[in-house]
């Protein structure tokens, strides 16, 4: 079975023409493209093989909230996957576990596949594996509180310190990722969630992807910067 390869474009590219070009150049089966909301319709119209994903959602449909998009609205324009709780939102927009939990539940209720991002920061990482496990276990329990079904849930383990824009210059190894992803899978079973795919994210590119993708326990990759380069992203998909 091919593994899941998700491209998180964040706030890129800058124009709709570039977004359409990138979508067409990476329109490959097995790829999930997550452009900014502003380009979702155009990207959705430009792809035939890839699947459309969003980068966030608001948790309540029809709410009196300005500037957001709801699960029903995303579904209606052809979105199948939605990223929830990305570390950039947790850090820069003070998104809490409580909010992330509401968003996961809203996505699943609407029939979207939710890609829940979890992962420790550099400080926790430097305290050692036991501290990382405690942090990840707590994050999973809070973010997945009251979630009963694992089928449409994907957990993306993204150690914050390994994300290309984190500024640490550090990268995770497949061996370290396997250790934490095995732990995540055990924890998910303990909270009654089976069939959850667990993918890895953090500075994945065409040179490093194979190391992660060839590990049986890693169900795919979440790619940021390298998803903006069609050649790089296609290479990664070819390895999946
Ligand atoms: P990166 O981003 O691949 O550029 O490290 C991954 C992410 O933030 O989802």
Which residue, chain included where needed, has tokens 């940021």?
Answer: 224
Does this model's pTM top 0.95? My answer is yes
Q: Which residue has its alpha carbon closest to ligand 1 atom 1? A: 224
Domain count, the chain: 1
Query: What's the CATH code of the domain at 131?
Result: 3.20.20.70
Give the active site residues.
86, 158
Which residue, chain included where needed, has tokens 């973010």?
Answer: 143
Atom of ligand 1 nearest to the CA of 163: 5
Tell me the C-alpha distance between 75 and 54, whole Å.
Answer: 10
Tell me the C-alpha distance between 1 and 213, whole Å.
Answer: 12
**What are 6's strand-pairing partners?**
32, 222
Average pLDDT, the chain: 97
Q: 93 in helix, strand or coil? A: coil
Supply the pLDDT for residue 30: 86
Q: Which residue has its alpha carbon closest to ligand 1 atom 3? A: 224
Which residues span the domain enclosing 45? 4-239
Q: Report how far ligand 1's centroid is from the alpha carbon of 97 (Å).
A: 20
Q: Which residues of the chain have pLDDT under 50?
A: none
């Amino acid at each position: 079975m091919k593994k899941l390869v998700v491209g998180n474009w964040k706030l890129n590219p800058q124009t709709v023409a570039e977004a359409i070009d990138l979508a067409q150049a990476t329109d490959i089966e097995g790829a999930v493209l997550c452009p900014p909301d502003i380009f979702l319709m155009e990207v959705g119209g430009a792809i035939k093989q890839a699947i459309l994903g969003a980068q966030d959602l608001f948790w309540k449909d029809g709410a009196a909230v300005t500037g957001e998009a709801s699960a029903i609205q995303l579904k209606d324009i052809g979105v199948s996957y939605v990223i929830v709780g990305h570390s950039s939102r947790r850090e820069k927009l003070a998104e809490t576990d409580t909010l992330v939990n509401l968003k996961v539940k809203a996505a699943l209720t609407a029939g979207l596949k939710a890609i829940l991002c979890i992962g420790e920061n550099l400080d926790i990482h430097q305290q050692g594996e036991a501290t990382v496990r405690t942090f990840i276990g707590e994050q999973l329990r809070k973010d997945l509180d009251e979630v009963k079904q694992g089928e449409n849930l994907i957990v993306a383990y993204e150690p914050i310190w390994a994300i290309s824009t984190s500024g640490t210059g550090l990268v995770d190894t497949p061996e370290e990722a396997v250790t934490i992803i095995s732990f995540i899978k055990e924890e998910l079973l303990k909270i009654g969630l089976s069939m959850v795919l667990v993918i890895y994210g953090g500075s994945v590119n065409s040179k490093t992807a194979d190391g992660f993708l060839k590990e049986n326990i890693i169900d795919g990759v979440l790619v940021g910067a390298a998803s903006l380069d069609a050649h790089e992203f296609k290479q990664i998909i070819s390895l999946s």
